[in-house]
Chains A and B, each alone.
Chain A
Amino acid sequence: TQLLEQSPQFLSIQEGENLTVYCNSSSVFSSLQWYRQEPGEGPVLLVTVVTGGEVKKLKRLTFQFGDARKDSSLHITAAQPGDTGLYLCAGRMGSGGSNYKLTFGKGTLLTVNP
C-alpha cells in the first residue's frame, strides 16, 4: 500500500501550459516536502509546508498543503522546458526528536516540450 499517492505519474505538455501535480494520503503529515530531480542527480528540495492550508510560492510554482495536512498540490504556471524533471512529494509523519524519516510518493515525470 502506497502511503503517498502522487498523480499523474507521467505528464507531457507544451511550453506555456499550466499543470498541477497532486499528492494524497489518508495519513496526517507533520510536514510535506516537494523535490525536483534531474536524471543522474539527487533530489533538490523546492519547498517544505508545515501548516494546514499553507500556500507557498516559488516564482511560477505554487505549493499548497491541505487543511487536514493529508494532501498537497504543486501548480506550475506557464511551464518552460527547464521545468522538465521528476517531481517528488515526501511526507514526514513524526515531529521533532530524531524522527526525520521521509515517505516518498511515486513521483511525477514532467516533460515540457518547446
Chain B
Amino acid sequence: GAVVSQHPSWVICKSGTSVKIECRSLDFQATTMFWYRQFPKQSLMLMATSNEGSKATYEQGVEKDKFLINHASLTLSTLTVTSAHPEDSSFYICSATGAGGYNEQFFGPGTRLTVL
C-alpha cells in the first residue's frame, strides 16, 4: 500500500512561535492532501484540503492565516501553525490521495503538537 510520512512525529514549542509540519507521500504522487486535527479520544476533524499548485480550501471555522498550508509538489504538503497558543495543542494528521482513480486516502502517522 501507499505510504505517507509526517515530520516531526512530535514537537513542543513555546507560545507565540510558529511550527511547520511536513506531510510526504513516499511512493505515489499525491494530487490532493488533507489536514486533520484530532483531540484525545475524539474523531478526526478536517481542517483543509490542498491540491498541488493551488490554494488550500479551508473548512468553516478554520483560520487560514493561522494554519498556513502549502502543497508545492506532488509529494509534499506543509502545515504551518503560526503564533501557536496552548489551545492549538493537538494531534495533527495528514492524508493523501493520488490521481487516476485512486480514491483511497492514505493517512500519515500524525504529529503531536504541544504548545507551552
Contact = CB atoms under 8 A, between A and B. Distances in A.
B41 A109 contact: yes
Given A43-B44, A88-B43, A98 B110 contact: no
A44 interface: yes
Q: What's the dominant secondary structure at chain A's contact region?
A: strand
Interface in B12-46: 31-32, 34, 41-46
Secondary structure call for the B interface = strand
Interface of B: 4, 6, 31-32, 34, 41-46, 49, 51, 91, 93, 95, 97, 103-105, 107-110, 112
Interface of A: 6, 31, 33, 35, 40-45, 48, 86, 88, 92, 98, 100-107, 109
24 contacts: A35-B107, A40-B112, A42-B107, A42-B109, A42-B110, A43-B93, A45-B104, A45-B107, A48-B104, A98-B31, A100-B32, A100-B34, A100-B105, A101-B34, A101-B49, A102-B34, A102-B105, A104-B43, A104-B44, A104-B46, A105-B43, A106-B42, A107-B41, A109-B41
